[in-house]
Amino acid sequence: MTTAPSLGPRSTRIDVLRGIAILLVLFHHFNIAYRLDGSVLSQLFGWEAVRAVARNGNYGVTMFFVISGFLITSNARRRWGALQDVKARAFYGLRVARIVPCLLLLLVAVDLLAWGGVAVFQNRAPAGATPLPLWLVNLASLTFWMNVVVDRYGWTNYALGVLWSLSVEEVFYLFFPILCVLLRRERRLIAFWLAIAVLAPVYRFHRQDDEGGYLYAYFAAFDGIAIGCCTALLADSVVLSARLKTLLSWTVAIAMAFLYLRWPISQSHVLGVTAMALGTAVLLATMSDRSADGTAPTRGRWLSTAFGWFGRRSYELYLFHLIVLGLLRTLFPPAHASGGDRMWLLGGYLLLSMALCDAIARCCSEPLNRWLRSRLSVAPA
């Protein structure tokens, strides 16, 4: 098998968007564990402002879905030249190489902590019910129906509940190469994915009284990935001046921030998810990695570097941050943490998560990803 062509350097704008998305998720989950209403942040900015940032962390996952669809589709085009020529075996192998090493490590860590008696990592169930066995939750995690478990039983396992989004993604990608081969023409693929994007808010509307349904179900979340796939196919056909792209990206970013801060996801999930997905798609299509003269922009470089680091480690952070937060909750119970304590805990949570996930990326996910891809003779993404 010949080696596929290099996919080029990483995109700064995509890493920045992923960095913003993962930070929203991290902050959201911390505020669930340690409410920040009595913290220094609330004293400085007001609790309503802090709560507005923290409550809609699920929109960070929506951004991830769009970015994921965009990258998967763009990379498939570069590797195989046309989507109809996607090689299913290689495609699935690439997904395994990226996803499985970290996923297995997470399951081993959670299982060991649960068997070691750390209560927060053990399965739980609604009052009066019997918790699901750990092996079943592990199976759901590995076979990508953890979102079904969350929908039906709630957040059954504290650290593994986040795998609902991985389940949505991987089921979508299970059919990706099949659709590419069957539909063949890109306009047919676009029409199919646009149909999914239209049907998803209808699905959320009919399940809007059920949080598990409007947040975690497959067809409640597929639209973000589908919009990302369409964006990858359509972005090059829209020609705009650099100035107009900049104006459009800033306008959309401000609109997304307004939606995020002003409209709780519990009320906005029907069309709000679609709006955030479309906004992310516009940013992917209009943001530039380089300035007009072809060089990397210097203004705000440190901020891009910071967000970009979080973006590059976003997968590891998403999977493992609740390990850190769960251990902090065990050592420093939220009921006993003062407002000042919670700020120290927030800083410690972020720093420990960063250190842990950087070590996991360097020692586990990146080397194993490269090794598995080398067995497939496919260039790294």
Query: Which comes out higher in pLDDT, residue 152 or 138?
Result: 138
Residue that the structure tokens 């650099």 belong to:
242
pLDDT value at position 379? Answer: 55
Measured from the Cβ of residue 194, the count of other Cβ atoms closer than 10 Å reads: 15
CA atoms within 13 A on the CB side of 267: 7
- Alpha helix ranges (H) inside the chain: 12-33, 40-45, 47-54, 58-80, 88-115, 134-142, 146-153, 163-174, 176-183, 186-206, 211, 218-234, 242-262, 265-286, 301-312, 314-331, 339-360, 366-376
pLDDT value at position 38? Answer: 84
What's CA 276's distance to the chain center, in Å? 13
DSSP state of 338: -
Residues 294-315 have a mean pLDDT of 78
End-to-end, the C-alpha distance of the chain in Å comes to 18
Residue 294 has pLDDT above 50, yes or no: no
Residues 216-225 have a mean pLDDT of 96
Average model confidence (pLDDT) for the chain? Answer: 91
Report DSSP letters for 174-197, one per residue. HSHHHHHHHH-SHHHHHHHHHHHH
Least confident of 105-114, 136-145, 290-299, 330-339: 290-299
Per-residue pLDDT band for 102 (boundaries 50, 70, 90) equals: very high
CA–CA gap between residue 214 and residue 280 (Å, rounded): 20
Residues 176-205 have a mean pLDDT of 96
Residues 289-294 have a mean pLDDT of 48
CA–CA gap between residue 37 and residue 47 (Å, rounded): 5
Residues 279-302 have a mean pLDDT of 70
CA–CA gap between residue 39 and residue 42 (Å, rounded): 5
Measured from the Cβ of residue 46, the count of other Cβ atoms closer than 10 Å reads: 12
Q: Is the dihedral of CA 238, 244, 250, 251 positive or negative?
A: negative
pLDDT value at position 3? Answer: 40
Q: Which residues contact 206 (CB under 8 A, 6 or more apart)?
A: none
pLDDT value at position 292? Answer: 40
Among 180, 112, 175, 110, which residue's Cα sits nearest to residue 142? Answer: 110
CA–CA gap between residue 161 and residue 55 (Å, rounded): 17
Per-residue pLDDT band for 116 (boundaries 50, 70, 90) equals: very high
Kindly report whether the global pTM for this prediction surpasses the value 0.85: yes
Residue that the structure tokens 């509940």 belong to:
161
Report DSSP letters for 285-298, one per residue. HH--SS-TTSSPP-
Radius of gyration of the chain (CA): 21
